[in-house]
Amino acid sequence: MVNILLCCNEGMSTSFLVKKMQEVADKNSLKVKIWAVSEPRVDTESEEADVVMLGPQIAFLEGKIQERLNNRVPVEAISAEDFGRINGAAVLKRALTLVKNHRAANA
């Protein structure tokens, strides 16, 4: 199971992306949990996350959020293009790649 946390200003714009990502995961029989929260909740909500993906509107906080999470999990901003197009497949693929690379680096 891979836990993917999406984070944006209010946690609402990412909810559409969560749905699309889950559809792609289900179609491909991938065991994932994907949920979205607002930025102030990322510290507590990330405790079970394997990766944190940020909405482009808060991409400028990537470094600060990475520090707040003590580099425990990868944190990366979603590309504005993928976010705008609600490209669940691309965002899911990127999130899974980040988790794989993080796990390999910490093995």
Element housing 95 (H / E): helix 88-105
Residues 6+ apart with CB under 8 A from 39: 7, 8, 9, 58, 61, 65
Q: What's the CA gap between 107 and 89, in Å, rounded?
A: 27
- Any idea which fold 2-105 has? Rossmann fold (3.40.50)
Residue 71: count other Cβ atoms within 10 Å of its Cβ.
10
Instruction: Determine the average pLDDT of the residues in 63-67.
Output: 96
Residue 3: count other Cβ atoms within 10 Å of its Cβ.
18
Express each pLDDT in 2-52 by its tens digit.
999 999 987 677 889 999 999 999 999 999 999 999 999 999 999 999 999
Express each pLDDT in 78-91 by its tens digit.
999 999 999 999 99
Tell me what pLDDT residue 13 has: 75
Q: What's the CA gap between 78 and 52, in Å, rounded?
A: 10
Residue 24: count other Cβ atoms within 10 Å of its Cβ.
18
7 belongs to the catalytic site? no
Instruction: Determine the average pLDDT of the residues in 82-106.
Output: 96
Looking at 8, 34, 51, 65, which residue is catalytic? 8
Tell me what pLDDT residue 85 has: 96
Query: What does pTM read for this prediction?
Result: 0.95
